Structure 1
Amino acid sequence: MTETHRIVFLDRDSVIANVRKPSFAHEWTEYPSTPAGETVQRLRDARATIVITNKVALGADALAQLPDVELIAVAATGTNIVDLAAAKEHGIVVTNIRNYAVHTLPEHTFALILALRRQLVAYREDIAAGLWQKSERFCLFGHPISDLAGSRLGLFGYGALGKATAQIARAFGMEVIVHNRSPLPDAAADGVREASFDEVLETSDVISLHLPLTDQTRNMLSAKELIRMKRSALLINTARGGLVDEVALADALRSGLIGGAGFDVLVTEPPPTDNVLLNLRLPNFILTPHSAWASTQAMQTLVDQLIDNIDAWHAGAPRNVVG
């Protein structure tokens, strides 16, 4: 007799897209969101065999109470919400989503870079304050504007997203240097150059982060690194909160140690009201609410791949397996 799988989507509202149902026999339950204290109970009540989660955590304690679960399909690339060691111990397969944001996130990265290099926020505030209206000439100066052409972009990380970001940079006429944890055999063909950590940090006009958050990358840029950046340099983080020491960044921006920063991620999300970056009101700092990944097209690609992962696992050929 064919098993009817019981699928529970713990945080359906985390993606705005049309989610087709898997091709095999199943029961489907979805919740807009799931508070941490209700995760185990909901999965146990449904006797879930397949769990879909975007940001609802499944730690070791939770997994120990869920003997029916066979697959955790993460509706995101990052899998730090799942205790992978515990999942393996219980024989649970974990899958994730890959390369779905290859257009939307690099585009958002450059939206931040362009806004900062062109001083869009500063000039918008000037207009709101009536400064252009009172100008003695047809235009308004006051904030130096810098072209991207001829400047240097330094990338930390060169996966699919870093590579796509480099392609856009080259179209703008930027030189691209990359520091990556593994060698880049195609660097020359891509038109980029491998560089040391120090060279990327100290010589880049713009630094963009495209790394996962691990024990090795946590706070990789703190006060002692920020002080070594060019005073005019921009720091862009559309990757993971925690790669940069937030307090040190706020201090560097206030004191003029770096030229500006554009962030789409914070250590804690949603952020507490006292987060130091959330309350930073400077024209050379832009914060967006973890939305770089969330174009309409990217979210549809994500959920299509999510169901493809579940179908592949059921067919005995699991793909995008983590751990």
Structure 2
Amino acid sequence: MSAPPTAAPTVLVTTDYLVPGDEVDAFLRDAGFATRHRPPRGPRGHAELVAILAGAEGALIGNEPMTAEVFANAPDLRAVVRTGVGYDSVDVDAATRAGVSVSNLPGVNANAVAEYTMALLLAQARRLVPAAAGVRAGGWPREDGHELRGRTLGLLGYGAAARAVVPLARAFGMTVLCTTSVPESGRRDAAARFVGLPELLTAADYLSVHTALTPATRHLIDAAALARMKPTAHLVNTARGAIVDEAALAAAVRAGRLAGAALDVTATEPLPAGSPLRDVPGITVYSHLAGQTAEARRAAGLDGARELVAALRGRPRTSLNAHLFQRDED
């Protein structure tokens, strides 16, 4: 008498643009996994996360708060993959204690973010959003804007997206400065000049944020930093909202101490009704779209699925903590 078939191990998929029957789903099923799709319908708490993770060995996730409490109550979980670059929503230390590999996808949407950054720079320089709003309201705005040529772009961070911005900005005739913690040996870019943060802030006509959110960068752009910037300067943020002190930014723009800001990310998303960023002339808030192209989504889904399968088979390629497991086993 033959043994009953063994149930396929389950992986959870929460990234909202991945759906049952798509090529990512097919890839995971062909690799021998059962899939469970649970896209978020709003902010997701610990209890809901624990419930949807029940029995799952792997998870392909968006921005869910993967906290110590979640990892402690997901005993079957062995691998988590973020379908993006940032992983500040994942408590990697807690995952390590729970024996769960955590991976991100470095550079997967760099081109999309770089092009979007240039779009925001152009929108700010040419006042595109207020002009369109004026026409929609029945007017015909004719205020002048500015050209990017001859202006200075300051890049805060030198990851894959920032590096992809450099040649685009140079093609527009901009001077590019960069502040980064990347060692000098990793700064092989003759098109950008590397400077300290104080010089970056005072010299930039446009400051574009591309650094990760860490305890050291939280509110790095605060009232004191904003006070160093030119009153004609603009801030662009496609990284993480909490890097910028939003109340200080709103106050600076309202007072004319900064010309404006284009923010693709905010500290709390979606933007709360009571956010200080609301209804500030000169500040435009977008809905976290920098990496959301069809091409980048497809790459993130497939690369994420490949990484999840590799991690569950003990061979992750971009794990942030798997080396710690290896060390423990030595």
- The answer to whether the superposition gives a TM-score over 0.5 is yes
How far apart, CA to CA, are the structure 1 residues paired with 2:293 and 2:260?
Answer: 25
Q: CA deviation at 1:190?
A: 3.6
Q: CA deviation at 1:241?
A: 0.7
Q: Look up the SS of the partner of 1:63 in the other structure.
A: helix
8 A Cα contact 2:59 2:79, kept in partner? yes
**Partner in structure 2 of residue 249 of structure 1:** 249
Matched, 1:66 2:74: yes
Residues 213-239 of structure 1, C-alpha deviations (whole Å, 9 max, x = no match): 111001111111111101111110010
Q: Look up the SS of the partner of 2:266 in the other structure.
A: coil
Q: CA, structure 1 residues 13+121, in 2 after alignment: closer, same or farther (shift >3 Å)?
A: closer
Of 19, 39, 46 in structure 2, the residue corresponding to residue 32 of structure 1 is 39
**Partner in structure 1 of residue 177 of structure 2:** 177
**Following superposition of structure 1 onto structure 2, how do residues 14-93 of structure 1 map, counting pairs within 5 Å?**
14-15=17-18, 18-19=23-24, 20-22=26-28, 23-33=30-40, 35-36=44-45, 37-44=47-54, 47-93=55-101
How far apart, CA to CA, are the structure 2 residues paired with 1:236 and 1:168?
Answer: 15
How far apart, CA to CA, are the structure 2 residues paired with 1:303 and 1:50?
Answer: 14
How far apart, CA to CA, are the structure 2 residues paired with 1:69 and 1:247?
Answer: 39
Q: Calculate percent identity across the aligned residue pairs.
A: 31
Q: CA, structure 1 residues 4+125, in 2 after alignment: closer, same or farther (shift >3 Å)?
A: closer
Aligned residues: 310
Q: TM-score, normalised by structure 1?
A: 0.89
Q: CA, structure 1 residues 64+207, in 2 after alignment: closer, same or farther (shift >3 Å)?
A: same
RMSD: 2.1
**Partner in structure 1 of residue 327 of structure 2:** none
Of 6, 11, 15 in structure 2, the residue corresponding to residue 7 of structure 1 is 11
Q: CA, structure 1 residues 125+63, in 2 after alignment: closer, same or farther (shift >3 Å)?
A: closer
Q: CA, structure 1 residues 68+130, in 2 after alignment: closer, same or farther (shift >3 Å)?
A: closer
Aligned-partner residue type, residue 28 of structure 1 = T
**Following superposition of structure 1 onto structure 2, how do residues 202-241 of structure 1 map, counting pairs within 5 Å?**
202-241=202-241
Matched, 1:294 2:302: no
More deviation, 26-35/80-89 = 26-35
**Partner in structure 2 of residue 195 of structure 1:** 195
How far apart, CA to CA, are the structure 2 residues paired with 1:123 and 1:223?
Answer: 29
Q: Look up the SS of the partner of 2:241 in the other structure.
A: coil
Q: TM-score, normalised by structure 2?
A: 0.87
**Partner in structure 2 of residue 303 of structure 1:** 301
Q: In proportion to residue count, which structure has more helix? A: 2
Aligned-partner residue type, residue 157 of structure 2 = G
Of 303, 314, 317 in structure 1, the residue corresponding to residue 315 of structure 2 is 317
Gaps (5+ residues) in structure 2?
322-330
Q: CA deviation at 1:182?
A: 2.3
**Partner in structure 2 of residue 100 of structure 1:** 108
Gaps (5+ residues) in structure 1?
133-139
Q: CA, structure 1 residues 186+217, in 2 after alignment: closer, same or farther (shift >3 Å)?
A: closer
**Partner in structure 1 of residue 270 of structure 2:** 270
